[in-house]
């Protein structure tokens, strides 16, 4: 296990993993079954988008920025665990 465990120096740690605004800037790992690749992520996003309408009324979304994102829960698709999913750093360098 790579889990920090009872790390007093880490301060208060939220149970829910946090995700930065950009998907792909974080990775998850299920410490229960070792899953690295498949997760159900429930998130609330606030976005700003450029809606480009034609005169006929067709809409095309040309640009979308994520202004904020709150990850509610991350669940492992393999074993169904939520508590065992931990955030790991993306491969650095
Ligand atoms: Zn799992």
Q: Compute, in angstroms, the gap from residue 24 CA to the centroid of ligand 1.
A: 19
Which pLDDT score, from 0 to 100, does residue 89 have? 81
**Domain boundaries in the chain?**
20-88
Q: Compute, in angstroms, the gap from residue 1 CA to the centroid of ligand 1.
A: 14
Which DSSP state fits 77? Answer: T
Q: Compute, in angstroms, the gap from residue 55 CA to the centroid of ligand 1.
A: 50
Q: Give pTM, 2 decimals.
A: 0.59
Rounded average pLDDT per 10-residue block, the chain, 93 residues: 46 46 76 97 95 96 92 96 92 59
d(CA 6, CA 1): 13
Six-digit token string for 55: 């005169």
Q: Compute, in angstroms, the gap from residue 33 CA to the centroid of ligand 1.
A: 4
């Amino acid at each position: 296990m790579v889990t920090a465990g009872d790390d007093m120096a880490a301060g208060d740690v939220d149970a829910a993993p946090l995700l930065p605004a950009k998907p792909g800037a974080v990775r998850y790992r299920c410490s229960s079954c070792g899953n690295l690749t498949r997760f159900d992520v429930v998130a609330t996003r606030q976005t700003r988008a450029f809606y480009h309408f034609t005169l006929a009324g067709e809409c095309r979304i040309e640009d979308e920025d994520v202004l904020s994102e709150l990850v509610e829960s991350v669940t492992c698709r393999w074993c169904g665990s939520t508590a065992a999913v931990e955030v790991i750093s993306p491969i650095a360098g």
